[in-house]
Structures are given as C-alpha cells and as structure tokens.
Amino acid sequence: MRYLIVGLIAVGSLPAPSELMARDGLRITTFSADITPPLGQPVGLGFIPILKTAEHPLMARGVLLQDSGTSCVICTFDWMEVHNESYDFLRQKIADAAGVHVSHVALHCLHQHTAPAISTAAQRLQLNETDPRRVASAEYLLDVSKKVAAAIHAGQTNWRQVTHIGTGKASVERVASSRRIERTDGSIQGRGSNTKSSPQLRELEEGLIDPWLRTVSLDNADGPVVQMHYYASHPQSFYGDGRASYDVPGMIRSRLEQTSGVFQLYITGCGGDVAFGKYNDGSREARSELAARLQDGIERSIASLERHPVGTMEWSIEHVRLPLRTDGEFSQAGSRRILSDPESGESQRRKAAIALAWIERCDSGHPVELSCLSISHVQMLHLPGEPFVQYQLAAQQMRHDRFVCVAGYGDCGMGYIGGDRIFKDRGGYEQTYAFAGPCETVFMAALQNLLSRAGSARQGARETDSDVQNIDRHD
C-alpha cells in the first residue's frame, strides 16, 4: 500500500502513477474544499480587515486530468492572491496529493477582495516570528494544504471518462470596464472596482476589455462532466467590511451547479486593468445585477457549445525571468530602509516586504513559470500575477485558429504585469504595485512560444527558458 503524506497526516492509498497512466483515453475527477479562514483571526497580509463573518464559504475547487501520457491539475482558490514560497508550497502539496509533477499544477486565485492574500515570505520580512498575523497565516496555510490534499484524494475514487470537448463563447454586457482611462492630455484616469464615492466615473467610456466569456466543457456520453468559464475582470463588488465572500463568481458558480448538476469552475482571466467600476456603485443591488448579467453570459456561452471528439492532451511550460525595478522604494535598499524605519506606516511596510520578497525570489534564480494545456483545438494558458487584458487579447490573436482561454492570478509575487507604457504613465494605480520592471517583450514571447507548440509532435512537459538579460541593480 502506497501513502502520500500531506503535512503531518497520511491521506490514504493511491494507485501508482504508472498504473493510472496506463489506462486509455482521457479521464477526469473533481475536488472541492471549504478553505474559509478561522473568523476573528488575523489571517493574510492585511489588505482587508480581519474577517468577522462569512456570507459565503471560500472554496478551493479544481480538476485532475489524465490520459495515457499526461496528467495535470487545474485548481482555483477563492483568495485575493498567493505569492512566492506560499504558492510553491501549495502547488507541491497539490502535486503530491494528485500524484503529478509540480510543473503540471496550475493554481489560480479568483482575486476576490473579500478573501485573504497570502505570502509567508513577505510576512517573514515584515513581522517577527511570534507576531499573531504571521502565526495565524502560517497555520492557515498548512490547514488549507491538508484540506485540499484530502479533497483531491477523495476525488480519485470517482474518475469519469471524457470523450468530447465543447467550446462556446458569449459577449457579456455591462459588467467589465477598464480601470485606466486615457484623458485627452494623455494622462490616466483611474477607476476602481466600484464608483460609489465618484459616480462621475461611471460616465466615462468602458475602455479596453475582452467582452467575451469563454466556456470549455468536458463531456462524456451522459453529457457535461465539468464546465470551465473564463472571464477577464477583477471580480469583487464591495469589500472591506470584515465579511468573507466568494462574491460574484462564486454566486454564479453555485447557482449553475445547483441547476445543472455539472461541476462548475470559474477562472479569472487577465483582469489586472479591468474591473466592475463603470457598472458598480458598491451596493448589494448592483452586485445582484452584475451577477445576473455575467450569469446570462455564461448561460449563453453554454448554449453555444460545439462538441468535438477529444484528442491528445499536451502540457507545455515556459520559464521567464522578469527584470527587477530599481527605482526608489522598489529597490532592495529602498525596501529595507522602509522596513527598518519605525516611522513607516503599515501599508508602506507591507508593500516594502512584498517588494523585498520578490527581489529575494529573483535573486535565488527561481524563475516564473507559465504553462499551457492543449486538448484538441483548445488551448488553456496559465499566467502569473495580475496581467493586463492586452496579453489575453494578444494570445487570442496569436492563435485565432484555436480556442484560446487565459487564466491569470497564478503566483502573484510580482504584482501587476502591465504593458511597458505604465512605467511612463501619468496617473493610474497599477504601476505602483508592479514589482517587476518593463517585461512586455519577454511576456509576449513566452505566450507565443507556448501557443505555437500546439499541434506539434507529442511533447509531454516540454520546457524552455525565455530569460531576460540580467539587469544590474544599483542599490
């Protein structure tokens, strides 16, 4: 009997990977775990107040896919984000429980702001080892890893065959809008997730978005087994009130699952510079309307599904090394000065710790990983950080002959990944939380490399490196 150990507990026996891989055809299993933090505990980096109530449970949900040559996991968390070593830790625990290589685990947050952001590395740099926030966050991270591993193990008793893959899309009206509107003088007008305090911002143009919601359905003879929905926008309606909530994506996910009986996976795309702001005044009524319009888009996408026999599954990996910012507070010396200054405010110290954690990660030589799952004519890209919508639109254009879906919010240690122009923009917010420097060229190249491999000879876990030339830092 073979056991996989997660944390300090044995989660049970699993067939050897070779035994699972020997079976013909594509098969899938699902898993789901409640990962709501303990209420009243200072879990997370502190972007939001301590959670006092839970309007909805925060969930970890995902799928494990296997065919005769490849196995992989796609997992979503109802978290704001997860960084660096915390992200690596969770991916490894998921990989161990699923019996797959860690490079074949795509872990993505949905980015609700009614949920914690986790970075043990940043907390180690900012807080002493007995600080309640650091202790509570570390305990929570370990607890989540055990719950998710147990859910994955339980799911492996219920494999289902996949014979067809369906694809559909529908435009979504009056939900997403740009967070960065260019004024006539070339400066940037910022617009957040809700415009309760600035109703005039709702009068501005919608701006650059991807209006299409895309659905991938994995089916067998009995009908859909799993449906995965991709949409690019910050997903939160209102937050900051000590309330845990899976917000609009979770509300829709739950309704669809109850009515259809089909496992639903919602995935946030390249929404770094996209939010609900134009159509959201921060009220519960607005949240209900946003959810109804987005759900309508998903239902129309499902109705448009075209099914094709499932083909070979391929998983490709691209490693990138992003340049560091060297200006002011983003440099190593600048970050350390802020952390050592007793007069620094809490938000300053938190940001400096995140910046320093990213610098240390880069200095360790640990690259950022992007991946792409290809099944038949479908390509599912898995990206780090908070990427701008321009990357999603570019990826779709690169392979307009394929059905390209994009997931953002993987490892968010580098923060926003915008176009290079943001570092010269006047106005806007996102460049103030972008810890990597200009990287548009290398990011676009990585997307092109991943997407260009589909349809080639079977590659398994083919890997390449797209390294940016090292940039000397003068602290």
Residue 130 burial (C-beta neighbours within 10 Å; 0-12, 13-18, 19+)? exposed
Report the number of distinct structural domains present in the chain: 3
Instruction: Name the residue among 60, 65, 164, 165 with its Cα closest to residue 118.
Output: 60
In a domain, 289, yes or no: yes
Decide which of 257, 290, 312 is a domain's last residue: 312
Distance CA 372, CA 81 (A): 20
Residue 242 burial (C-beta neighbours within 10 Å; 0-12, 13-18, 19+)? middle
Pairing, β 26-34 against β 274-275: unpaired
Same-domain pairing of 208 and 277: yes
In a domain, 10, yes or no: no
pLDDT-derived band at 180, boundaries 50, 70, 90: very high
State the pLDDT at residue 453: 84
pLDDT at 138 over 70: yes
State which residues form the domain around 450: 314-375+418-468
pLDDT-derived band at 464, boundaries 50, 70, 90: very low
pLDDT at 51 over 90: yes
Structure tokens at 2: 């073979």
Distance CA 416, CA 435 (A): 7
Decide which of 312, 341, 360 is a domain's last residue: 312
Same-domain pairing of 147 and 172: no
pLDDT at 6 over 70: no
- The 10s digit of each residue's pLDDT in 14-30 is 344 434 433 579 999 99
Average pLDDT over residues 158-186: 97
Same-domain pairing of 123 and 224: no
Q: Is residue 362 within 8 Å of 330, Cβ to Cβ? A: no
Same-domain pairing of 169 and 247: yes
pLDDT-derived band at 473, boundaries 50, 70, 90: very low
Instruction: Name the residue among 100, 93, 56, 63 with its Cα closest to residue 78.
Output: 56
For 57, 236, 286, 342, the CA distances from 291, given in Å and listed in that order, are 17, 11, 8, 44
Decide which of 106, 135, 162 is a domain's last residue: 162
Same-domain pairing of 345 and 438: yes
Same-domain pairing of 235 and 286: yes
Same-domain pairing of 91 and 204: no
Same-domain pairing of 46 and 138: yes
Question: Which residue in the block uniquely carries the two structure tokens 């580098």?
Answer: 414
pLDDT-derived band at 455, boundaries 50, 70, 90: low
pTM: 0.92
Instruction: Render the burial of 203-236: b for 16+ CB within 10 Å, e for the rest.
Output: ebeebbbbebbbbbbbbbeeebbbbbbbbbbbbb
**If phi over 0 gives left and psi between -120 and 50 gives alpha, with beta otherwise, what is residue 454?**
beta
State the pLDDT at residue 326: 87
